[in-house]
Amino acid sequence: MPFTAPVAEQRFVLDHVARVGDLGVDGDVLDAVLEGAGEFAAGSWAPLDRVGDTVGARWTETGVIMPDGFRDAYQAYVAGGWGTIGSPEAYGGQGMPFVLAAAVLETLGAANMGFALLPTLTVGAIEALLHHGSPEQQATYLPKLATGEWSGTMNLTEPQAGSDVGALRTRATPRGDGTFLIEGTKIYISFGDHDLADNIVHLVLARTPDAPPGTRGLSLFLVPKFRLNADGSPGEANDIRVVSIEHKMGLHASPTCVLSFGDNGDCTGELIGPEFGGIRAMFTMMNNARLNVGLQGVQVAEAATQRALAYAAGRVQGARNGADVAIVEHPDVRRMLLRMRAQTMAARALVYLAAAEVDRAAAGDADARARLDLLTPLAKAHGTDLGNEVASLGIQVHGGMGYVEETGAAQHFRDARITPIYEGTNGIQAADLVGRKLALDNGGAFARLIAEMREEAAAAPLRDLIDAVDESGRALLRADSDDRLAASYPFLTMCSVAVCGWLMEREGRIAASGNTPFLRLKAAAARFYVEQIVPEALGLRAAAQAKADVLYQVDAATLAA
């Protein structure tokens, strides 16, 4: 299936949701970037999506090998400057808004989701170094990371430390020369090894000697795959072993590595930021990474929708009003396809809205920073939930053909399923929302969002939903920890749909003034969203206002009775 980047939709959402006009990018430049990225992704990355799944990344004694074609496609990405869009000009980047870089990344990932995880991770490493690296570290590493000549990783998880990051044990021992000896095993390291870039910059959370327990004892280290020569070029290999790669259900183009640091007592790393500044630095790289995982929901939703639309338009089966028709004409298939369209648009609006706040926050807008913090768990969790829903609908539209691997619909479904898990499970996002984000500015960030939505929202069910979110959110601010957490996930979903409904209604209103095919589709999808999806979320009010006692009526042993 030929992939086509949704350029008109991306531009529309950039204009009317992200309001990129305020961010100082010329409209012609926007179009050129979106169209160029679309052409590149469709021509270079999309054709590798299936081999990425069927062959996948392979572990060998000497490192991970990517399938044929990936190296050329990655070099073309580097040469085309697609990695540099959002990086600072001081380090060879183009200095364009984060939200535009996100749109480009969306296009790459819709063409090839597993592959696009590589630049996604590099963005995280760039963020960490930009905010916490020394000038020397920035000068040495950022130009290479900005272009993608070198890639980045995030090394957090250990077997006993998943969602509980504070439990990790990897050790960092000063060597007396300013560097540290790194020793430990990290798991679930996406693109922890590969043969596409000239070096890999591992950012590793570890514990210095006598560090306090828990998260406050963590420090962040830069551990290159190849140590640098005096001229900055990659030299001898560091002491890092790729133990294995995971046998995953999907996302096979992305090698998920177990990395062992310091097997031979000679793994060198350098501290990024202050000692014990690890958790703060981690959140720096993680927050934008969370948005980019929400963006993966958009990617897979877009790809699954395009594939299902193409199939449904070509598959003739059954009759409507007496004539044989393609299945796209049947009401329930049409419902699924319009829902896929609407949910994909909603996810994109939510993620772009948050991504634009990255740019506003970087420009010093404190409200934007708080808004970004509030929206990040919504964008990550709801964006990925929608990616999964849409990918599942994509299988259903294909009928039996969706369950056989040849159509590619199943791959989207398998690929999508990791996104509600990594970068903080969606349950962790919900906990973050009710535990930290609601309380920002004493509830002020949440209240401002509610007020802004209320001012614009017109449809009755949308206004009802906003009221329900407001009422539930204020109750959660006063609730005890168990009650807050018990209601967190339904509240997160309800809150996300309210934001999406607010944005979709706005988009529909603007689209109604035009008459291109895209604008008519947008208006139709917006109406469907407000009339059918918004009321569904109202059904979550009971759960979002329930207490924890319903969950603890029986103890854990009885739950397994």
Among residues 489, 495, 502, 511, the one that binds a second copy under rule CB under 8 A? 489
E strand or H helix at 490: helix 488-511
Residues numbered 38-77 forming contacts with a second copy, rule: CB under 8 A: none
Return d(Cα 122, Cα 115) in angstroms, integer: 12
Cβ closest to a second copy, residue 230 vs residue 560: 560
Span interacting with a second copy, options 161-169, 232-240, 262-270, 291-299, rule CB under 8 A: 161-169
Cβ closest to a second copy, residue 329 vs residue 359: 329
DSSP annotation of 166: G
Span interacting with a second copy, options 222-230, 286-294, 375-383, 405-413, rule CB under 8 A: 405-413
What DSSP string describes 358-397? HHHHHTT-HHHHHHHHHHHHHHHHHHHHHHHHHHHHHHHH
At 235, list the tokens.
């030299």
Residues numbered 460-479 forming contacts with a second copy, rule: CB under 8 A: 461
Among residues 71, 131, 227, 414, the one that binds a second copy under rule CB under 8 A? 414
Contact mark string toward a second copy, 296..335, x via CB under 8 A: -------------xx-xx---xxxx-----x-xxxxxxxx
The strand pairing partners of 180, in sequence order, are 174, 269
Residue of 484, 454, 478 whose CA lies nearest to 466: 454
Return d(Cα 321, Cα 22) in angstroms, integer: 50
Cβ closest to a second copy, residue 144 vs residue 527: 527
The strand pairing partners of 60, in sequence order, are 63
Asked whether position 406 contacts a second copy by CB under 8 A, the answer is yes
Return d(Cα 344, Cα 108) in angstroms, integer: 16
Residue of 288, 237, 254 whose CA lies nearest to 98: 288
478: left (phi over 0), alpha (psi -120 to 50) or beta: alpha
* CB 80, min distance to a second copy, A: 27
The strand pairing partners of 64, in sequence order, are 59
DSSP annotation of 260: E
Three-state secondary-structure class, residue 192: coil
Residues numbered 201-240 forming contacts with a second copy, rule: CB under 8 A: none
Among residues 107, 155, 157, 376, the one that binds a second copy under rule CB under 8 A? 157
* CB 256, min distance to a second copy, A: 8
Return d(Cα 427, Cα 411) in angstroms, integer: 24
Among residues 40, 221, 413, 446, the one that binds a second copy under rule CB under 8 A? 413
E strand or H helix at 454: helix 444-456
* CB 538, min distance to a second copy, A: 5
Tell how far CA 93 is from the center of its chain: 22
Cβ closest to a second copy, residue 175 vs residue 436: 436
* CB 547, min distance to a second copy, A: 10
Could you give the angle at the alpha carbon of 71 between the alpha carbons of 100 and 34, nearest 5°?
20
DSSP annotation of 232: S
Residue 375's contacts (CB-CB under 8 Å, 6 or more residues apart) are 350, 353, 354, 357, 499
Among residues 47, 427, 435, 443, the one that binds a second copy under rule CB under 8 A? 427
Number of chain residues interacting with a second copy (CB under 8 A): 97
Return d(Cα 448, Cα 450) in angstroms, integer: 5
* CB 389, min distance to a second copy, A: 10
Return d(Cα 71, Cα 225) in angstroms, integer: 18
Among residues 48, 196, 499, 538, the one that binds a second copy under rule CB under 8 A? 538
Contact mark string toward a second copy, 101..140, x via CB under 8 A: ----------------------------------------
Span interacting with a second copy, options 63-71, 137-145, 199-207, 395-403, rule CB under 8 A: 395-403
Among residues 178, 247, 264, 323, the one that binds a second copy under rule CB under 8 A? 247
Residues numbered 497-536 forming contacts with a second copy, rule: CB under 8 A: 517-518, 520-521, 523-524, 527-528, 531-532, 535-536
Among residues 410, 466, 479, 500, the one that binds a second copy under rule CB under 8 A? 410
At 348, list the tokens.
């994109």
Span interacting with a second copy, options 92-100, 120-128, 284-292, 421-429, rule CB under 8 A: 421-429
- Whether 278 and 218 have beta carbons less than 8 Å apart is answered as yes
Which is catalytic among the residues 423, 455, 456, 505?
423
* CB 298, min distance to a second copy, A: 18
* CB 294, min distance to a second copy, A: 16
Cβ closest to a second copy, residue 63 vs residue 427: 427
* CB 540, min distance to a second copy, A: 6
Residue of 138, 144, 104, 103 whose CA lies nearest to 122: 144
Cβ closest to a second copy, residue 268 vs residue 426: 426
DSSP annotation of 4: -
* CB 517, min distance to a second copy, A: 4
Asked whether position 266 contacts a second copy by CB under 8 A, the answer is no
Let me know if 302 is a catalytic residue: no
Residue 270 backbone dihedrals phi, psi, to 5 degrees: -125, 145
Q: Are strands 234-237 and 150-155 parallel, antiparallel or unpaired?
A: unpaired
Among residues 404, 436, 452, 458, the one that binds a second copy under rule CB under 8 A? 404
Neighbour count for residue 40 (Cβ, 10 Å): 21
Span interacting with a second copy, options 259-267, 275-283, 290-298, 412-420, rule CB under 8 A: 412-420
Residue 194's contacts (CB-CB under 8 Å, 6 or more residues apart) are 57, 63, 64, 65, 66, 118, 151, 200, 255
Asked whether position 249 contacts a second copy by CB under 8 A, the answer is yes
Q: Catalytic site residues?
A: 423
